[in-house]
Amino acid sequence: MKLIILDHYSQASEWAAKYIRNRIIQFNPGPEKYFTLGLPTGSTPLGCYKKLIEYYKNGDLSFKYVKTFNMDEYVGLPRDHPESYHSFMWNNFFKHIDIHPENTYILDGNAADLQAECDAFEEKIKAAGGIELFVGGIGPDGHIAFNEPGSSLVSRTRVKTLAMDTILANARFFDGELTKVPTMALTVGVGTVMDAREVMILITGAHKAFALYKAIEEGVNHMWTVSAFQQHPRTVFVCDEDATLELKVKTVKYFKGLMLVHNKLVDPLYSIKEKETEKSQSSKKPYSD
């Protein structure tokens, strides 16, 4: 497990975006080999998405051969509602990059048979070859996706009733009115995310500090579902300084001491421009008379 500690939210967002960029480019996706990326919603990943959009617009990154699977969606909220996760993803990310709409998979919270929709989502992930990198965020109570406290740590995609803490936290997106916040959602399970070949969790802000403490320094506990990723062979937690406030000084010093090593994951920063240059050079015929 890696814990990446940056000074501020903007730096944590940029590090995460650089990591995603390098992973996609090094994977070398193409028509016969798509990179599969799991994605979150919420305020935490917005900075990361902005950097990824910037990389695309600068010609350094392409999502043409990327398939995305989103973590969750509200039940009963119209797809075009400004707070649906369909709207969130399109407005904040997808419409700004070159990803094909048919390669973006988001659960349908208005499906006639919600459990069948969840089962079909699991099958789509399998058909895509599994998730290469699943990016996630957490709530202040340590939930990943909508796997609320008490969720099974081997759970699959399913219908979930939202905890009151989650409803209160999300009320800010619904004019502060609790009655407008959906009480149910479709969500990937903890087991679904654990199946990904790699997991990156973004945790920023002092209000997430106790959850980070539970995820890093205490044992695996279904009341803090993010703690399950202690048992994943390739987990990267990316946080800012504020999120470390509940960690022991010794823990913070230990992981900060590894940053010289961990920064090699994003430095050098790769670009598809370099890949295109390599291709053009290799395609040139050697001189002959």
User: What is the DSSP annotation of 168-199?
Assistant: HHHGGGGTT-GGGS-SEEEE--HHHHHTSS-E
pLDDT digits (tens, 9 = 90+) for 1-26: 999 999 999 999 999 999 999 999 99
pLDDT digits (tens, 9 = 90+) for 53-76: 999 999 999 999 999 999 999 999
> Does the structure show a pLDDT above 80 at 279?
no
Given 143, 195, 232, 262, which residue is catalytic?
143
Query: Structural domain boundaries of the chain?
Result: 2-264
Q: What residues contact 127, with CB distance under 8 A and at least 6 apart?
A: none
141 as an active site residue: the answer is: yes
Given 141, 195, 240, 242, which residue is catalytic?
141
72 as an active site residue: the answer is: yes
Say if pTM beats, i.e. exceeds, 0.85. Answer: yes
The encoded tokens of residue 201 equal 């969790």
Given 14, 73, 148, 242, which residue is catalytic?
148
Domain at 2-264: CATH code: 3.40.50.1360
Task: Answer whether 142's CB lies under 8 Å from 211's CB.
Answer: yes
